[in-house]
Chains A and B, each alone.
Chain A
Amino acid sequence: MSQTISEKIIARAAGVESVRPGEIVTCKVDLAMMHDSSGPRRQIEKLEAVGADVWDPDKVVVITDHFVHETDADSIRIQDITRDWVAAKGVKRYHEKQGICHVVLPEGGHLVPGMFLVGGDSHSPTAGAFGCFMIGIGATDLTGVLATGEIWVRVPHSIRVDVTGTLPGGVAAKDVILSLCHRIGLNGANYKAVEFSGIAVKEMSIDERMVLTNMSAEIGAKTGIVAADAKTLDWLRDAGAPVNGPGFESDTDAVYGQVIEMDARGLSPQVAAPHSPANSRPVEENTGVRVQQAYIGACTGAKLDDLRMAAKIVKGKKVFEGTRFVVAPASNRIRDRAAEEGTIATLVEAGAMILPSGCGGCIGLGPARLGENEVGISSSSRNFRGRMGAKSSQGYLGSAYTVAASALAGRIADPREYV
């Protein structure tokens, strides 16, 4: 039977030949990832209530990123609980303050194409950029996985998004996915697996593919996925993953619930107005909006490629005096590589404030929090009311190019005027 890449991975994890969309199957989980918010602090009591222990500590990854660089007693307590639990359970795949979970997971060498994973975070589909099937789940579902190593899933219909043509200068994967958010809405892919393909996706770096799969969460998808290719395998080997093949590919006659064509060639930079990624429109419709902060951060928008995009825009220039230009690299490894190649220096010379890696400004924590009535533009994934700071703040979303251009102008600006 012909199947999509997602169906093949689910079938393999369920121990059956093939699966059909709509069917409910129980899958064995290859790895379960959690962070300091969904992790030990919410698991200890629940596991006790079930009366079970961790099914396999070698298949658990714990990454602290939400309440790190802790400046309050609650966050310090959460880090202590996390560290103690990991030690007590013998979880060796533990990354403390090394960066944001969706970026540290592949960097830590934990991913191999074809894996079936769950993560205690909604942006878990990010791992799909590596040919993995990874779904986001809540804390109680996670307890179920920790106790049994299994989870039930309804096999999703697959949607294929073909991005044809080559992206123009100053336009990035972020613009592709924001445009898709506008086109199909926040539940346009609800319960579906979104498979990204086409020339533009093939040409994208792994960092850029991660933006597509990451923000599959914003269209309600169960997951997003890109078939692994030579680029994927090189990236993973560089991270030390035990890769020995490309995993799965969709059959040429696989059945999709929907096929969406997008033409990369005509795409403009996109900006999502408050308070939804679905409010995305070509940047022209938002230029001129005064911003107090321009934030390059989050698992979505602060990978090495994002920092390079921002540096390309601001090189040799100075950011607008009344605007804070804040950069929080998504991981320490990214920060170090960006420092080595001079990207960090370029950003700092232009006036950037560099923050430690963590969720921070994406969820309104730390120095990048938006104040009352402030307006910010961010390379993160979501601009729900109050998420980036005060309830009265206004959050816009754009690519790292667009955020950097806006930092220079002090207003939402079209990056094509700067590249």
Chain B
Amino acid sequence: MADGRAWVYGDDIDTDLMAPSAYLMKPADEVVQHCMEALDPTFAKSAGPGDVFVAGDNLGVGSSREQAPQNLQVLGIRYVLAKSFGRIFYRNALNLGLPALVCKDTDRISTGDRLKIDPVSGRVDNLTTGESLECEPLPPHLLEMIREGGLIPHLKKKLAREGA
């Protein structure tokens, strides 16, 4: 399992920060460039494949706009860790196949730390500090959906099975 760099932010990171309203009518590749810009203009430019987005409480509070987790995913974010999530953001991330994991110890992670994550066991190894942290495991029906790549491929399979 490859490791990734952590991008760490605070509590109540809202959907307007991850997907600003003013660009929502624009094509997806344009919206993504503005992800987090009001808080951290370097994020969209510097985040890359395999990175991990880490936040405190209530990550994704606000709108139902799926562009919030989608932008993170497009920028290469592979896992999202937070102490707690806004409920729509949480469902949206998982539906897109982006594992959103509840980790009460995100305070122990700093931006730039290298993290190795096993979503099945819920183990987070911080390779930079040498610490091991724990996430809450995902319910089985969601793990299955994530393994299949999210709700769309999952449904496609399911409907094909039922039709057969």
Question: What is A's interface to B at a CB cutoff of 8 Å?
Answer: 24, 37-38, 42, 46, 49-52, 66-67, 72, 74-75, 78, 120-122, 124, 136-141, 143-144, 147-148, 152, 186-187, 190-191, 220, 222, 276, 363-365, 382, 384-387, 389, 391
B137 within 8 A of A: no
Whether A385 contacts B39 by the Cβ 8 Å rule is: yes
Q: Closest chain B residue to A381 by CB distance?
A: B62
Whether B91 contacts A138 by the Cβ 8 Å rule is: yes
Whether B64 contacts A191 by the Cβ 8 Å rule is: no
Whether A136 contacts B64 by the Cβ 8 Å rule is: yes
**Interfacial chain B residues near A220, Cβ < 8 Å:** 58, 61, 86-87
Whether B88 contacts A137 by the Cβ 8 Å rule is: yes
Question: What is B's interface to A at a CB cutoff of 8 Å?
Answer: 12, 14, 16-17, 20-22, 24-27, 37-39, 57-58, 61-66, 84, 86-88, 91-92, 95-96, 139, 141, 150-153, 155-156, 159-160
15 A-B pairs in the complex with CB atoms less than 8 angstroms apart: A42-B66, A66-B24, A72-B25, A74-B26, A122-B63, A136-B64, A138-B88, A138-B92, A140-B95, A141-B92, A143-B155, A187-B61, A220-B58, A220-B86, A385-B17
Report if A384-B62 is in contact (Cβ < 8 Å); known contacts: A46-B152, A52-B159. Answer: yes
Whether B141 contacts A148 by the Cβ 8 Å rule is: no
**Interfacial chain B residues near A365, Cβ < 8 Å:** 21-22
Residue among B25, B27, B160 having the largest count of chain A Cβ atoms under 10 Å: B25
Q: Of A143, A190, A364, A382, which is within 8 A of B22 by CB?
A: A364
**Interfacial chain A residues near B160, Cβ < 8 Å:** 51
Whether B84 contacts A144 by the Cβ 8 Å rule is: no
Q: Closest chain B residue to A139 by CB distance?
A: B66
Q: How far is the CB of B141 from chain A (nearest CB, A)?
A: 7
CA of A175 to CA of B66, assembled, Å = 30
Report if A140-B66 is in contact (Cβ < 8 Å); known contacts: A49-B156, A50-B152, A187-B86. Answer: yes
Q: Of A67, A74, A78, A141, which is within 8 A of B91 by CB?
A: A141
**Interfacial chain B residues near A144, Cβ < 8 Å:** 95, 151, 155
Residue among B64, B141, B153 having the largest count of chain A Cβ atoms under 10 Å: B64
**Interfacial chain B residues near A67, Cβ < 8 Å:** 24-25
CA of A387 to CA of B84, assembled, Å = 22
**Interfacial chain A residues near B12, Cβ < 8 Å:** 186, 276
Q: How far is the CB of B43 from chain A (nearest CB, A)?
A: 14
Whether B88 contacts A122 by the Cβ 8 Å rule is: yes
Whether A141 contacts B141 by the Cβ 8 Å rule is: no
CA of A35 to CA of B121, assembled, Å = 39
Whether A51 contacts B159 by the Cβ 8 Å rule is: yes
Whether A52 contacts B155 by the Cβ 8 Å rule is: yes
**Interfacial chain A residues near B152, Cβ < 8 Å:** 46, 49-50, 140, 143
Residue among A67, A137, A187 having the largest count of chain B Cβ atoms under 10 Å: A187
**Interfacial chain B residues near A137, Cβ < 8 Å:** 64, 88, 91
Q: How far is the CB of B73 from chain A (nearest CB, A)?
A: 12
Whether A138 contacts B139 by the Cβ 8 Å rule is: no
Q: Closest chain A residue to B12 by CB distance?
A: A186
Whether A191 contacts B39 by the Cβ 8 Å rule is: no
5 closest Cβ pairs, A-B complex: A138-B92, A363-B21, A140-B95, A138-B66, A187-B58
**Interfacial chain A residues near B25, Cβ < 8 Å:** 37, 66-67, 72, 74-75, 78
Whether A386 contacts B38 by the Cβ 8 Å rule is: yes
Q: Closest chain A residue to B27 by CB distance?
A: A74
Known: A384-B17, A384-B62, A386-B22. 16 other contacts (CB 8 A): A37-B24, A38-B65, A38-B66, A49-B153, A51-B159, A136-B64, A141-B92, A144-B95, A144-B155, A147-B155, A186-B12, A187-B57, A190-B87, A363-B22, A365-B22, A385-B39
Q: Closest chain A residue to B20 by CB distance?
A: A386
Whether B159 contacts A147 by the Cβ 8 Å rule is: yes
Whether B141 contacts A152 by the Cβ 8 Å rule is: yes
CA of A37 to CA of B22, assembled, Å = 12
**Interfacial chain A residues near B64, Cβ < 8 Å:** 38, 120-122, 124, 136-138
Whether B62 contacts A190 by the Cβ 8 Å rule is: no
**Interfacial chain A residues near B151, Cβ < 8 Å:** 140-141, 143-144
Q: Of A120, A190, A389, which is within 8 A of B58 by CB?
A: A190
Q: Closest chain B residue to A192 by CB distance?
A: B87
**Interfacial chain A residues near B39, Cβ < 8 Å:** 385
CA of A276 to CA of B156, assembled, Å = 39
**Interfacial chain A residues near B141, Cβ < 8 Å:** 24, 152
**Interfacial chain B residues near A387, Cβ < 8 Å:** 16, 21
**Interfacial chain A residues near B87, Cβ < 8 Å:** 190-191, 220, 222
Whether B150 contacts A140 by the Cβ 8 Å rule is: yes
CA of A386 to CA of B63, assembled, Å = 14
CA of A165 to CA of B6, assembled, Å = 50
Whether B155 contacts A136 by the Cβ 8 Å rule is: no
Residue among A276, A382, A386 having the largest count of chain B Cβ atoms under 10 Å: A386
Whether A384 contacts B16 by the Cβ 8 Å rule is: yes
CA of A386 to CA of B39, assembled, Å = 10
